[in-house]
Structure 1
Amino acid sequence: MFKPSFTISPDVLSAISEITETKVIVERSRVLPLNELHLKRQALIRMVHTSTSIEGNKLAEYQVDRVLSGMSVAADDKSIMEVKNYQEAVKEVEKLAERKEKLTLDLILKIHAITMKGLLEKEKTGGFRPADIYIIDEMGGGKEKLRFKGPDAKDVPKLIKELLEWLKHAEKDNLHPVLKAGLFHSQFVHIHPFSDGNGRVTRLLTTYLLYSDDWDFRKVIVLEEFYNKNRQDYYNALAYNWETQYAPGADFTDWLEYFIAGFLVEARKARDVINSLGFNLKDSPKEQTYLDTDEIKILDMLSGKFKITSDEVVDTIKVAKRTAQLKLKNLVDKDLIEPKGRGPSTYYVVKE
């Protein structure tokens, strides 16, 4: 079974302590519903942009915003599809995490299928790689250097099953969610189980683990921004204490120090932006809006989809069509959303 070797330094302990304190501040902060919705929307845009950028996607952040909003951009079809797929994968991660579903082999393959739809051959989409995989660095002048060779393809299913079994033990042993997510991140990417899409799926599953453990920081934290800020640092951190070929027994200490330091940076950013929008800055009756559970779910849907219809509300909160329409009207009356279109084609977007 996978048994990661690592040492928790005083700096790591201190960082985890501050991250925990920051999480409490973020969760307890009173933020206006419309402000929180805008924060979640911006976080999703940044998450999709940075995670796909790490893998070479050329779309700028404003273009990603347009794509996620259903607007056209002057870009190649592949780049647009990568962004749309990632948005769908994030939505699926959020839905599964909300239901507290345990991470399984089938769930991993499902996330890969959503992420890589139309980007890989069908037989390689939603399935483990059929052959060995090599990560090559271009050195210039026609020269190449082997950075890493993944484990043999025949060993991938076994390694993933061992990693999933370790997750069960980590939960029973009450391993801190941030440590658990960090260790999973490194081991999964080193198994490199797919023909393509390994980095994206690794980051999606790391998000899934954190969300499942209620470490989502109200979905305004974007760890990918830290990785994308200096991609070479991210690659170097993943390579700490690993040879150029997969082998069990690597020490994860250096990677965890990088991962947790980055987590703290992004947690502080989430805290600061939440605090800047607290109720203590506003006190007009209009801004002190209170929402019921269903209205919160509808706004959560909008933070990921950017536009919704009454039929989608029916499917999500399991109410009659008339009830869904009334709830949408309540949100319109509260000046949080606005309708677009007319008749059967009506949909709703966040009020700017």
Structure 2
Amino acid sequence: MPSYQPPFKITPSVLALVAEISEQLGRWSANLGEGDEGLSPQLRRGNRIRTIQASLAIEHNSLTVEQVTAVLEGKRVLGLPREIQEVRNAFAAYEQLPQWQPHNPNHLLAAHGLLMQGLVDDAGRWRHSGVGIYQEQQLVLMAPPASQVQRLMADLLAWLKQSTVHPLVASCVFHYEFEFIHPFSDGNGRMGRLWQTLILSTWKPALAYLPVETVIRNQQSEYYAALSAADQASDATEFVEFMLQALLAAMQEVVLATPESESSAPSRHQVGTKLKLSADQLAVFEQIEGEMSLVELMALLNRKDRTKFRQQVVTPLIDLGLVEATIPDKPTSSRQKYRLKREDD
């Protein structure tokens, strides 16, 4: 057992919420397949964009979902340079989730460094000064002294590593404790939400793409009220219950958005795996959208040699009937593009 035990209670409400979320997760998983393999690239990207936009909006970033999408597509967007940088950083951080371990302090610091790169001078380092938490210019919480941050985070991460508490509950407890400690000079809110997503995705990979941040954004006042209530009680229970309700609402939303009728259609990943595609062939098959040129497909894998890429990746996909050329009688045409094989062809 870890030496530090965060104060919280497993109430009947907590147990009921965990059970209901698990039931919804079972329905979602049945539609999508094991892990996140059943999630299409469009669904993964769409949910991630919603997650990033909502999490940053909580921190007063004004960019819309459409603008965030444009930034990530490399298009010019009318917006503050800082807000655009926040989007790029957040996307990079969320994409890195599979490489991090929730209990590893070095990974936590690396995540903050990536999330806050170019935004604060001490990105990726524990804070070295006092910090207060304000709401509408009113101090609502003075965080622990900077001299205690490293010890407190070490205790919390050790608890997370050894705890036998259900991951749904543990992720909420960690989120609250992290916000209470406020270990960084800036970016604590978005880091807390990012790390809860990491904890959940380590348990169930598909949860890396659950846009719970959109629920929090729509219930922002309740989110802060739950944090405040937990602070006043010196007990995380009320915040845990709020976050579990937010997770349930997010789960219900994605279940409704994934009709059971779609579950009978195998995902591209499932098709590619059954056909034993190479890693590069599978990556192109999963990510190709609309009509794409050879250069655009090569960019997906950072490949440089056109001839080898065409021979090793594109031609086998065409031969298997998965991909087709838009100008099939002129394979090397400068206007040649590729798309998924149409079912009516």
TM-score (norm 1): 0.78
1:52 correspondence with 2:56: yes
Cα deviation per residue 1:240-292 (whole Å; 9 max; x = unaligned)? 1314xxxxx82111111101111111111111112266145x79xx9998122
Kept after mapping to 2: 8 A contact 1:49/1:61: yes
Who is 2:179 aligned against?
A: 189
1:152 correspondence with 2:145: yes
CA distance in 2, matches of 1:337, 1:270: 34
Who is 2:292 aligned against?
A: none
SS at match of 1:146: strand
CA distance in 2, matches of 1:186, 1:224: 15
Who is 1:38 aligned against?
A: 42
CA distance in 1, matches of 2:80, 2:222: 28
Supply the RMSD in Å over aligned alpha carbons.
3.7
Cα deviation per residue 1:23-71 (whole Å; 9 max; x = unaligned)? 122122158x997222111101101100010001010111011111111
Kept after mapping to 1: 8 A contact 2:41/2:287: no
Cα deviation per residue 1:191-243 (whole Å; 9 max; x = unaligned)? 101111111111111111111112534x4411101110021111111111314
- Structure 1 residues without counterparts, runs of 5 or longer: 139-143, 244-248, 316-320
Which stretch of structure 1 is more off in the superposition, 270-279 or 204-213? 270-279
Who is 2:123 aligned against?
A: 125
Who is 1:274 aligned against?
A: 258
Who is 1:290 aligned against?
A: 271
Kept after mapping to 2: 8 A contact 1:129/1:193: yes
Who is 2:158 aligned against?
A: 165
After TM superposition, give the deviation of residue 6 of structure 1 in Å: 2.1
Question: Based on CA coordinates, which of the two structures has the bigger radius of gyration?
Answer: 2
Assess, with a 3 A threshold, how the Cα gap between structure 1 residues 210 and 72 changes in structure 2: closer, same or farther. same
Assess, with a 3 A threshold, how the Cα gap between structure 1 residues 132 and 28 changes in structure 2: closer, same or farther. same
119, 133, 136: which one pairs with 2:134? Answer: 136
CA distance in 2, matches of 1:187, 1:241: 10
CA distance in 2, matches of 1:348, 1:184: 46
CA distance in 1, matches of 2:28, 2:78: 38
Kept after mapping to 1: 8 A contact 2:182/2:188: yes
Who is 1:207 aligned against?
A: 197
Q: Which amino acid aligns with 1:202?
A: G
Who is 2:227 aligned against?
A: 238
CA distance in 2, matches of 1:288, 1:301: 10
After TM superposition, give the deviation of residue 336 of structure 1 in Å: 10
After TM superposition, give the deviation of residue 8 of structure 1 in Å: 2.2
Who is 1:96 aligned against?
A: 99
Who is 1:254 aligned against?
A: 238
After TM superposition, give the deviation of residue 309 of structure 1 in Å: 5.5
Structure with bigger RCO (C-alpha 8 Å, 6+ apart)? 1
Assess, with a 3 A threshold, how the Cα gap between structure 1 residues 51 and 30 changes in structure 2: closer, same or farther. closer
SS at match of 2:230: coil
Alignment length (residue pairs) = 316
CA distance in 2, matches of 1:2, 1:349: 55
Who is 2:88 aligned against?
A: 84
CA distance in 2, matches of 1:46, 1:22: 20
Q: Which amino acid aligns with 2:226?
A: A
Cα deviation per residue 1:126-179 (whole Å; 9 max; x = unaligned)? 1011100012233xxxxx421111100010000000001101221xx2x21100
1:111 correspondence with 2:103: no
Kept after mapping to 1: 8 A contact 2:44/2:209: yes
- Structure 2 residues without counterparts, runs of 5 or longer: 290-294, 327-331
Who is 1:68 aligned against?
A: 72
Q: Which amino acid aligns with 1:133?
A: V
CA distance in 2, matches of 1:278, 1:180: 32
Assess, with a 3 A threshold, how the Cα gap between structure 1 residues 326 and 27 changes in structure 2: closer, same or farther. farther
Q: Which amino acid aligns with 1:96?
A: Q
CA distance in 1, matches of 2:94, 2:311: 26
Identity %: 25
After TM superposition, give the deviation of residue 2 of structure 1 in Å: 3.0
Q: Which amino acid aligns with 2:144?
A: P
Kept after mapping to 2: 8 A contact 1:67/1:80: yes
CA distance in 2, matches of 1:242, 1:308: 51
Kept after mapping to 1: 8 A contact 2:50/2:214: yes
TM-score (norm 2): 0.79
Q: Which amino acid aligns with 1:290?
A: V
Kept after mapping to 2: 8 A contact 1:30/1:279: yes
Which stretch of structure 1 is more off in the superposition, 294-303 or 58-67? 294-303
SS at match of 2:231: coil
Kept after mapping to 1: 8 A contact 2:89/2:115: yes
Who is 1:14 aligned against?
A: 16
